[in-house]
A and B are shown apart, each in its own frame.
Chain A
Amino acid sequence: MSLQTLKGVWWKKVDASEKIWLAIALLWCLILFAMMPLWHLKGGQNPSFETYRTTPAQYMEKVEAFVESGPKVGEEKGLPVIAPDPAQDVYMLGRLWQWYPALKLKKGETYRLHLSSMDLVHGFSLFPLNLNFMVLPGYEYVLTITPTTSGEVFVVCNEFCGIGHHQMVGKITVE
């Protein structure tokens, strides 16, 4: 019983039926482990590891330059809508409580999407696609993304960032 002290030699041989489970469980654990490096080699969805140190001020400059160079194709709810060329870097920022600017992307094209925060920690969640990344102030995160579906997707903030957190919704349109 589990409340008794053990005397003498208690480290007995492991029974065959227990050994079977131990071996299979270990094998399964190794498969679980192998899946992650394998997906980096063969899979299409992997967290980016391209990151740069930045400051809110530096990053703001980049975003402003991006929005100015455009091409701006419209305005929605006060947000400029930018339809970037896939060859150029794409920028978006999170701040209380807005994702700026809105984007118009082309299906099947590959973009380098830069993300950072102006203030608190935010969560970049493409809704309802369900694709989630963290956005931290001071870190410029570069995701290389290829939209494979068209239509409107929304950028929902999914990390608590104060009282207006639930209002923080941006937009990406894919044609």
Chain B
Amino acid sequence: MATEAVFRTCAQTGLRVHNHAERLIKVHAVAGVFSILFGGIAAILVLLTRWPAVHLLDPTSFYRALTFHGINMLIFWIIFFEIAVLYFAGPIVLGSRLAWPRVGWLGFALMVAGSVLIDVAILAGRADVMMTSYAPLQAVSYFYLGWILFAVGALVGVCNFFASLVVARAERTYEGSIPLVTFGAATAGIIAVVTLAHGAIIYVPTWLWSLGIIQTIDPGIYRLVWWGLGHSSQQINVSAMVTIWYLLATLTVGATPVNEKVCRSAFLLYILFINLASAHHLLVDPQLSPAWKIWNTSYGMYLAVLASMVHGMTVPASVEVAQRKKGLTKGLFEWLAKAPWGNPGFAALALSLVLFGFIGGITGVTFGAEQVNIISHNTLRITGHFHATVVAGTTIAFMGLTYYVVPLIFRRHLISVKLATTQIYLFAIGMTIFIGGMTTAGSYAIPRRHWDVQFTSSIFQPPVEAAAFAFLGIMGVGGLFALAGGALYVVITVGSVLFGRRVPDTAGAVPLAALPQDRGQHVPIKGTLVLVFVFLASFVIYYFLNWKWLAAIWIIK
């Protein structure tokens, strides 16, 4: 096989690119963009129904659109893109061939087949079960088969990545230790294996149950194992997103991690602890003890949170050091003020980091405290939280990276860099407003996954505070901005791939940040330290406010 591999040398980065790896990156990225397009169309319908002033769809269409939105966004968009990231971070970064090109195509075909089966089942009205399909709620059997095919396909992609690491090592395509980006991607890959194994463990029996071969599925066990897939799949995102932060920092300002040992140790903490957080979904379930809940919801003892807090410092620190080395040394924040804010990659890095940390991270840890979950579970607070992590965090990072994938992998210039930058800001601002409205509405007990919070068709009409409706309206307005930003992303990406000017094979055709000269001097990270302490203060305030709110409800034990 090794002799058959065809390589090109990238004129921009100097990387050796195996043609099969590159093609697989392209098709996975395209599938990802299709998924975000489908999920985005459903998002319009869901948003305009949950906005009480509009209340667009009938109940059946709403629940169907919501199921479709959740799966296409949280599973297909994210995982297709992540497999593309793995094919880049493994064989291409290491200059190696992809271990098994044909197997790579098989994996992709399985993922596509699975996602088509699932989408068809939902659109045909045979799977109005939400993303979670909590047994004994039952969908048509080919819906579960679709999940199995998709999970196996993704697993094949992950294994191909690991095999390529082995090949690169064996064929000595690099010397020393693997780069941080490959290391981070390997972390995401390991978490993905654990996640997809849970998917197989839960969906195989559920599939057999839907065929009538197994009689019952215990709803408590189902929830326990399903979240090993459902939450952990979002932890692949965390690892992949942090990896992309480091990558974007390098591409946009020429940043180098301040201390590789610290960054890599933090990734190791993710591997060890982050998947315990699937317990976040089970904190007010009957089937588990407080000891189990506390240990697991805290990721051990919040050691995965520690890891994120470390990355939250080391990523901006790497940017600060690079900028200061370029002479931007005035005061605390000249390095930040004069950062390349007009570069969509940098804007995406900064906004993804801030929104993920300040909103997604803080709300996630707070709502994931065993008792605080009583005043958060299954309300819009939860959906607000994960739109901050997966959309404002992961998706913005993926969008920023796309604007490098298009010129470097598809070798087409963006149709407009300015428009791409505008897209990132529009999407981020829209999402921030949306998340603020949604999370706050949730603190008035507004439930998630609910067609009518005015309860017009139920026997009782609970009074809903006017403020809750106001926040749902804010959510609606923010959502429209975010949808415009999302649509723009699809337009720019598809437009550039189809109609963008070809990138010539000459060095410098795609502007990449130069590495600043290292004179061996000690560079302070004062600005970063100020930022992380502002973060900590926000965290402490929000966390204890929630305990105060909790103490105000009925006494319960």
Contacts and interface: CB of A to CB of B under 8 A. Distances in A.
Candidate in A8, A21, A46 with the most chain B CB atoms within 10 angstroms = A21
Contact of B462 (A127, A135, A162): A127
Nearest to B381: A130
A5 B175 contact: yes
Nearest to A134: B285
B259 A166 contact: no
A22 B262 contact: yes
B556 A145 contact: yes
Interface in A101-142: 110, 119-121, 123, 125-141
A171 interface: yes
Nearest to A140: B286
B41 interface: no
B450 A165 contact: yes
Contacts of A37: 294
Given A12-B259, A131-B553, A163-B60, A170 B134 contact: no
B556 A125 contact: no
B247 A2 contact: yes
Given A2-B247, A48-B557, A51-B287, A15 B220 contact: no
Contacts of B164: none
Interface string A137-174: 11111011111110000101111111101111111000
A136 B463 contact: no
Interface string B237-261: 0000000001101100011111111
Contacts, number: 308
Contact of B378 (A6, A46, A159): A159
A6 B556 contact: no
A137 to B, nearest CB: 6
Nearest to B447: A158
Interface stretch (B21-29, B187-195, B201-209, B453-461): B453-461
A143 to B, nearest CB: 6
A14 B462 contact: no
Nearest to A52: B286
Contact of B137 (A17, A149, A162, A168): A162
Contact of B543 (A32, A159, A167): A32
B305 A163 contact: no
A4 B254 CA distance: 12
A3 B93 contact: yes
Contacts of A163: 59-60, 63, 128
Interface stretch (B30-38, B369-377, B427-435, B490-498): B369-377
B117 interface: no
B134 A159 contact: yes
A65 interface: no
A37 to B, nearest CB: 6
Candidate in A22, A130, A156 with the most chain B CB atoms within 10 angstroms = A130
A129 B443 CA distance: 10
A131 B258 CA distance: 45
Interface of B: 13, 59-60, 63, 93-94, 128-130, 134, 136-137, 174-181, 218-220, 223, 246-247, 249-250, 254-262, 283-290, 293-294, 297-298, 301-303, 305-306, 309-310, 313-314, 317, 365, 369-371, 373-379, 443-445, 447-453, 455, 457-465, 468, 515, 522, 524-526, 529, 532, 536, 539-540, 543, 547, 550-551, 553-557
List the 9 shortest-distance A-B pairs measured between CB atoms, nearest first.
A29-B302, A158-B447, A130-B445, A141-B286, A154-B462, A7-B176, A146-B555, A2-B246, A158-B378
